[in-house]
Amino acid sequence: MMDWQPLLLTFELATVTTAFLLLLGIPLAYWLSVTRSRVKPLVETLVSMPLVLPPTVLGFYFLIAFSPGNAFGHWLNDWLGLKLVFSFGGLVLASVIYSLPFMVHPIQSGLSGLPASLGEAAGLMGKSRFTILRKVLLPNIKTSLLTGIVLSFAHTVGEFGVVLMIGGNIPGKTRVASIAIYDEVEALNYGAANFYSIVLFLITFCILLLVYLVNGGYLKKFWR
């Protein structure tokens, strides 16, 4: 009997992370697409850092920052009752930051690709920015939204370094599939490692395939 828990935990983490990313990514991408602020390059750089930084670097600093032995971690623990090291909450927060560019970039480029006149026309009708974003802009970048959601999800599924640093390997709490694979291989338990690996491979393959089929318009004939 195989242990499904690491896989379930992986997809739970990916789902929660993607949901938070959507809430955070849309306003951030919108702001980046309209702002002329001087801090824009700085924010863009910070958003993109997880693309180039080794995940272990990110994980290391999270570990230091969230550790209850340090001021910030102590404050979190005292005031919010949050213990972010070796906990699911900590994994979610780290994953949100780690996958941020995968959500923000597609949405930002989708929004920037829309003609400015769309938003301006709605603005001239006296609509609020929120209404314009919700009713005019977002419905016209559905493929970008889908890309952002799926890439963030898939990227979180594939996360290893950050989780290893900050989550540890607590079964049922932080032991996600990627960690479990590593673990099983170390224990020369190739059968179990293969099981986790093949499930991850198949599921992520199907998700990505679906995105390319949808964005490429191959599925249009089925719902028209």
Partner 1 sequence: MISMDVQKRLMGADGPMELDIQLQLEQGQFATLYGPSGAGKTSTLRVLAGLMKPDKGHVTVYGEPWFDAQKNIHRPPGERGIGFVFQDYALFPHMTILQNLQFALGKGQNSDIVNRLMEITALEGLRDRKPPELSGGQQQRVALARALVQQPKLLLLDEPLAALDLETRLTLQDYLFELHREFGLTTLLISHDVGEIMKLSGLVFQLADGRIAKKGPPGDIFLPKRVSGKFQFTGEVLKIEREEVVYVLTIRIQNTVVKVVAGEAEVRSLQVGDKVLVASKAFNPILYKL
CA dist., res. 135 & res. 111, Å (int): 13
Give whichever of 78 and 120 is closer to partner 1, judged by the CB atom: 120
Q: Give the interface with partner 1 as residue ranges (CB under 8 A).
A: 115, 117-118, 120-127, 135-136, 139-140
Closest approach of partner 1 to the CB of residue 116, in Å: 9
Residue 160: both structure tokens together: 């290893």
Give whichever of 45 and 117 is closer to partner 1, judged by the CB atom: 117
Q: 184: burial class by Cβ within 10 Å (0-12, 13-18, 19+)? A: buried
Give whichever of 96 and 137 is closer to partner 1, judged by the CB atom: 137
Residue 92: both structure tokens together: 């979610």
Closest approach of partner 1 to the CB of residue 212, in Å: 22
Give whichever of 115 and 191 is closer to partner 1, judged by the CB atom: 115
CA dist., res. 108 & res. 27, Å (int): 10
Closest approach of partner 1 to the CB of residue 147, in Å: 17
Closest approach of partner 1 to the CB of residue 121, in Å: 4
Closest approach of partner 1 to the CB of residue 119, in Å: 9
Give whichever of 74 and 135 is closer to partner 1, judged by the CB atom: 135
Where does residue 188 fall: left (phi above 0), alpha (psi -120 to 50 degrees), or beta otherwise? Answer: left
Give whichever of 125 and 210 is closer to partner 1, judged by the CB atom: 125
Q: 17: burial class by Cβ within 10 Å (0-12, 13-18, 19+)? A: buried
CA dist., res. 169 & res. 179, Å (int): 7
Contact 77, 86 (CB under 8 A): no
Closest approach of partner 1 to the CB of residue 135, in Å: 7
CA dist., res. 163 & res. 157, Å (int): 11
